[in-house]
Every structure is written in C-alpha cells, then in structure tokens.
Amino acid sequence: MTHYKPYPAYRKSGVEWIGDVPEHWDVKRLRQVASFTNSGIDKKSYEDQEQVSLCNYTDVYYNEFITADMPFMLATASKVEIEQFTLKKGDLIITKDSEDPSDIGIPALVVEDAPGVVCGYHLTLIRSVELATARLLHRVLQSTPTHAYFYIESPGITRYGLGQDVIGDLRVCMPPENEIVRIADCIDRETKRIDSLITKKTRFLELLKEKRQALITHAVTKGLDPNVKMRDSGVEWIGDVPDEFDDSKIKYVVDSMEQGWSPQCESIAATENEWGVLKVGCVNGGTFNPKENKLLPEDLIPDPNLGLVAGDVIVSRANTRELVGGCAVIHSDYPKLLLCDKLYRLRPNEKILSEFLARVIQVYGRPEIETDASGTSASMVNISMSTIRDLRFCLPTIEKQCGILSRITSLTGRLDLITAKTQLSIDLLKKRRSAFITAAVTGQIDLREPA
C-alpha cells in the first residue's frame, strides 16, 4: 500500500483502537447510521406459518455477499417475521454468537433483493438508509479494529455472543457523503484484484496436490523398476502391477484393528500428564496432531487399551466425505491419549511398514471408501471396519517397501516446498487484503484520487 498517500490532516478520533482519523471525517456509533435487529427465525417448520427460504449462519459465515439464487434451506416464518426480515438489497447480516469468539461479527452484504428469503437465527440484520453507507459498513465490519472490538466485547464461557448495546456502540469512521462511494468502489476494486490472485494460487495448490497424489499412487502400485515383469492386478483403476507383488488384504497385515469410545468430555484439551480422548480432526491433513483431543473427566475410568504406541496407524471412521478414511502414522507413544469412537487404530504386523500401510490405505482405499461411506448428512459419513479390513492391495517385500517410501519422500519433498511457499503467498495476500480494508475505512490512506 506504499503507493497510497495519507490525507493532508488528521485529528484524534477519541477511540483508542481507531487512533487518528482524517480531519473532515466523523466518528459515529453504528446505531447513529443504521438500525439493527436480531432474528429469531429458526430452522424448524410450523404448520401455522408460511414457507420461506432461510439465510442461515453458514450462508453468512462462508459468503462475503448474499444473492437471491443461493441454495438456501427451507423453513417457515410468521407474517410479521417475513415483513421484518425479508432480505433487501443493501442489508447487512452478521454472525451474532458462536462457540469461538473469533467467529462473531462476520459480515455478509445482500447485493440484490431476495423475495422469499429471510434472515435466520443467530444472526443480526443491519439496515442503513443508503446503499453506499451499507457498502462502507460492510467493509468496516470486516476491518481489524471491528474484529478486535467484537472479540473483546463478546462474553461467554462455552458460547460467546454480542449484546445489542455492543453492536450499537461499535464506532464507525464516516467520511463525507461525496467520498463514500469512491472509497467503497476502491475497496471493491482492490479486493477483487487480490481475490483473483488468491483464486489462481489456490487452483495451483490443487494441481500440486493432484500431482503429489499421482506420484504416490504410481510408486505404491507400480514399484520403482520400470523394467520389472508386470501382471494384471484385477483392479480396473490400478491396472498392471509388478509380478513380484503379492495379493493381500489389510486384515492379513495387521495384528489388530480397534475402534474407540465416546465419553462425555470436557471442552478443553488434556495436558501431557492428563487423560484425553482424541478428536477425529487429529488425522486431518495426513499427519497426527495430538493437540486435537478433549480432557477426560476425573470421574470416568480410562481404558489404557485404547492408547497409542509408536507404529500405530489411525484412520478416520466418521468424518466429512472428503476427510473420512484419512489416516496418519503414530511416531511416539501416547498412552494417555485414547481413541474416540470416530477413529480406528491399526497395528501392523511384520509383513508391512506402518508408513507403507498408511500409503496403501491412502492409495488403494480411496475408491472403496468413496463407495462404501454411508450417512444421512454430507457433513458426517461413516465407513465400516470391514471396508478397511477387506481392502485388497498388492504387497511388495519389506525391502521394496523401504525403497518405495524413500522414493516417495524424494519425489514429494520438492512439491511440498513449492506448496508451502504458495500457501505462504496466499496467507500474505489475505493479510494484505485485510490491511487494505482497515486502512481504507479508518482513513489511513486517501482514496479520493486514483493511486
């Protein structure tokens, strides 16, 4: 942002977390420039109410802008609620409460009238008289000072929420009317440019991920010798495999396969010397994260048989469709971290290396898992123990497994480095985006003239 100049003169805003503002700007409370109302329309349907489309919490949380053609869920509302909460162009909606205070105050701007769509529960609807003001307020609500204010002012222990006074007392830096549209347009233009770069880099990450998986798949199923005699694997999508690989199933290369339990745990994680129960997210990403656990209450007797030792392979039994079947190798002993019921624990025998077993599940298991996963919700599907136990694959010798794993490490190392650098650049772009919005809405940069 070095090419943007500051305003000629500044004055004290009177608000510590805002600092100085342009001399000709006003600092107002949100209640002075807009009205706001909490919605009480929940997801349930009632016979004496009219059917509506419900803009709910996740619609707002995951979308910067709300349009009428989004796939809203169906619900019902009273005539009074429909009149009060039907979405109109220029409406702002923010998340009002959450289990995580950092998720509070996330805004979305309604960019067109949406007849039949109402604002749902756990959300606050904000309305201003002018569309230009709404566009500016949208960016104010995205700014770092606003996030900090909401974070501090959202009390709670297990759930946090914004009170009406907190929302109304939010300080808003207001430029003169003839500058608002110019500032909003500049913010839109710059954020779109940054978003375009983020989209391109995100797509590049997806391609790197696909290439990485292809390299792993080829190494695990074809081995390292391009001249070795091949035979039909019997699995259509795999094709030929080295003749020296043995046909096998997971149940023949593991000594045991266990499922965990589901006690009612504390919301905090266990310390190193406390008993904890792992969460399913401990395997997300392909590496084990021991911090993803919940503290076991003192009145519950732990089962040491559900702990982990080095060499165990844990598999996600129940998760989203994308993450179910994800696995990770345990490299240290964790006797006090117990399996939850959404995880399977496999203990390999002398026929297979733990790392190779994880690769086998990753490569051979994905199509089977996609086919066998069941569940009534896309957010949580399950795979049975038999899906893993009966998984067919081709097994090389231990010596060959060592060579394949070494080759995989060599091939993926460079891709992982490029991936890390690309992800870092995306993170920096997101920070730049946030910094630009904050600078624009607090008057740190002058957007009245082209930069």
pLDDT in tens, 163-197: 999 999 999 999 999 999 999 999 999 999 999 99
- Residue 24, pLDDT score: 95
In the chain, the domains with their CATH numbers are 1-25+175-225+400-451 (1.10.287), 26-174 (3.90.220.20), 246-395 (3.90.220.20)
Average pLDDT, the chain: 92
**Cα distance between residue 34 and residue 32, in whole Å:** 6
Question: Sign of dihedral through CA atoms 65, 70, 76, 77?
Answer: positive
pLDDT at position 365 = 86
Percent over 70 (pLDDT), the chain: 98
Give 51-98 pLDDT, tens digit per residue: 999 999 999 999 999 999 999 999 999 999 999 999 999 999 999 998
Closest CA to 344 of 316, 310, 382: 316
pLDDT, position 2: 64
Residue type for position 308: L
- Enumerate residues 6+ apart whose C-beta is below 8 A from 39: 81, 85, 118, 119, 120, 121, 122, 123, 124, 125
Q: What is the C-alpha to C-alpha distance for residues 184 and 448, in angstroms, rounded to an integer?
A: 11
Query: In the predicted model, is pLDDT for residue 375 greater than 80?
Result: no
Task: State if pTM tops 0.75.
Answer: yes
| DSSP 8-state secondary structure symbol assigned to residue 171 | E
| pLDDT value at 5 more than 80 | yes
Give CA–CA dist 55/69, Å, rounded.
Answer: 11
Mean pLDDT, residues 295-315? 93
**Residues 329-339: tens digit of each pLDDT:** 999 999 999 99
Q: What percent of the chain has pLDDT over 90?
A: 78
Mention every residue, 6+ apart, whose C-beta is less than 8 A from residue 80: none
